[in-house]
Structure formats: C-alpha cells, structure tokens
C-alpha cells in the first residue's frame, strides 16, 4: 500500500468469505471504508481513493460480497442479508486493526452502511452516504411487497426477484445491460456512454461482470424481505453516527414518491439526529461519485476532517 495514491490490491479472509480489497494511502492513517452499489465494483471509487490518500487517509474499497473478485456464496439470497454483509464488514474492519473507521457509501453500499451504523455504531466514526437516504423499517409492510403495491410487477426491484432477470441479462448481453444501467434515465436502445465514463472504464466493468455475472448483486435485492424479517428488533431505531448526505437532483432515488419531503422536511433528521448536512447537487444523476468526482472527494474530505 503506497502513500502517493497508487492503488494496490489483495484478498482478505473475513467472516468465512474472501473479499477482494483495493487500497491507497499510508499505513497507520485513519481508514475510510468505501462501499459501492449495484452494478458496480471497488472501481467506482477510483477517483476518490487517490484524493483521500493525498489528504492523509487510508482508503479501503472492497468488492462487496458477490461482486468482482470477492466470493459469491452460492447458497441463495438468504446469504446476502444486511446482517451477513455487515458481518463481513465488521470482520474486515477487525482485519485492518481498526476500532473505528470512516464510511463512505453509494447506492446499495449506502443501504449496507446505514445497517452497519444501525447494528454497530461503535465501529463508525462518521458516514458520508451518497444517493440513498436512510429508510426506516416499516413494521407493517415487507419492502418488496411495498414496492410491488406502489409500482407494480414491472418495477425493477420486483423484476430482480428470483425469476427471469439473469436470462434477460444474458439475452441482452453484459455490455448492453451495463450501458443501460449507467444511463438508466435514458430509455433508448442504443445508449451512448455518459461523459463521466471512458471506454477503458467501461471495459473494466464489462470484463468483471462477464466473469462474475449479476447474480451476486441481484441477491441483495432478493434478500430485502429476509433482512426485513431479521431486523424487527431495530424497528424505530435511530442512526446515531455523524452523517453527511449527498444526492443529485436528477437521481431517480430523489424523485421517487415522498423522497424529497422525507429528506428535506424533517423526517430524515428525525431518524438521523446527527445528520450534519444534506447536499442536493444540481444537474447530477445517480452515479454521483463518478459524475462529479472532484466535488464529491472535496465533500468527503471536508466532512471527515472535522473528526480528526
């Protein structure tokens, strides 16, 4: 691991699985754990890692369970609940020799980070969550059932449940599927790459998902109801970790029913009382850390510097 922002790679055995981990920054520096979403990899943090290293932090970005060069347990979705994945991350933090780390997380990574802060707030100094706000557990409705009632069977979370998703992805081809995800507010069949991703970047993503497939990532969606079953003790619990939240105003997550009111009118702050700041970035969509890398890096560093 180098202090000049060079990214190195290794595998770590944690909690019964092997995770691929990318790292940058000096040994002994405060650790920033970077958690990616779907359909991404450690590589989504390729801009933030050198910036964090230059600022004196040790950036640690795993391929999440089921992704890239990390293990993908084959026992079905029940092995991908938030409790399983948080267990992996706690073990990863232990393997780094750290009692507490900073966490920066996007999309599904943010969902897992909220769970990490809920289950083990003692292990997190502060959180920067991107794109996905905390979603309090609704004791009356299972998540997938709620999405189906609101949006119908064609809603992507419902379509990702066990069934035809993998076959559909195979029919379309890895490259076509990834192009659609990266510009998922564009409905056209022929999808150009967005300006924030190069052909070289896209080739890396395509090569990795060509090897691993999408089942590991899809299993996070398929475990949503099982996680709901297992987390009833945390109904009504609050996030007690200092937090900054950043979302793009063009992000579909920000434009779903009720999201803006929850984020901006007190509901979010009620459940995350140490919410320090909410940043709504203009003309930015979902893949915010790749679309606006310098701005996001600055937001992260400025926030976590408060706690050193």
- Angle in degrees, 0-180, between the axes of helices 174-182 and 199-212, rounded to the nearest 10: 120
Catalytic residue among 20, 107, 205, 254: 107
Largest CA distance in the chain: 50
| Alpha-carbon gap, residue 100 to 120, rounded angstroms | 10
The residue among 109, 126, 136, 133 whose CA lies nearest residue 279 is 133
DSSP 292: S
Find residue 104's DSSP bridge partners: 34, 128
| Alpha-carbon gap, residue 294 to 281, rounded angstroms | 13
Strand 17-24 relative to strand 58-62: parallel, antiparallel, unpaired?
Answer: antiparallel
Catalytic residue among 205, 220, 221, 254: 221
Rounded alpha-carbon distances, angstroms, from residue 184 to 209, 222, 251, 252, 286: 18, 20, 10, 9, 9
Catalytic residue among 20, 36, 84, 286: 286
| Catalytic residue check, 286 | yes
| Alpha-carbon gap, residue 289 to 246, rounded angstroms | 10
Active site residues: 107, 221, 286
């Amino acid at each position: 691991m180098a202090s000049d922002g060079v990214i190195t790679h290794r595998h770590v055995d944690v909690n019964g699985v092997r995770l691929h981990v990318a790292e940058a920054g000096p040994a002994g520096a405060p650790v920033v754990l970077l958690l990616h979403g779907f359909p991404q990899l450690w590589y989504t943090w390729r801009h933030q890692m050198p910036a964090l290293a230059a600022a004196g932090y040790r950036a640690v970005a795993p391929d999440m369970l089921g992704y890239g060069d990390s293990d993908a347990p084959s026992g079905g979705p029940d092995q991908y609940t938030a409790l399983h994945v948080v267990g992996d991350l706690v073990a990863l933090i232990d393997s780094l020799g750290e009692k507490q780390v900073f966490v920066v997380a996007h999309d599904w990574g943010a969902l897992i980070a909220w769970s990490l802060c809920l289950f083990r707030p003692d292990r997190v100094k502060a959180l920067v969550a991107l794109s996905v706000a905390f979603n309090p557990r609704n004791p009356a409705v299972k998540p997938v059932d709620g999405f189906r009632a609101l949006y119908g069977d064609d809603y992507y979370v419902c379509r990702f449940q066990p069934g035809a998703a993998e076959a559909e992805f195979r029919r379309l081809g890895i490259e076509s599927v990834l192009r659609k995800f990266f510009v998922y507010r564009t409905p056209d069949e022929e999808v150009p790459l967005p300006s924030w991703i190069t052909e070289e970047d896209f080739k890396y993503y395509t090569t990795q998902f060509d090897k691993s497939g999408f089942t590991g990532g899809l299993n996070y969606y398929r475990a949503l109801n099982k996680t709901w079953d297992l987390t009833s003790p945390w109904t009504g619990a609050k996030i007690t970790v200092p937090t900054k939240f950043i979302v793009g105003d063009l992000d579909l997550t920000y434009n779903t029913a009720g999201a803006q009111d929850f984020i901006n009118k007190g509901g979010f702050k009620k459940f995350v009382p140490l919410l320090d700041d909410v940043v709504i970035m203009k003309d930015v969509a979902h893949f915010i850390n790749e679309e606006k890398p310098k701005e996001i890096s600055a937001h992260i560093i400025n926030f976590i510097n408060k706690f050193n």
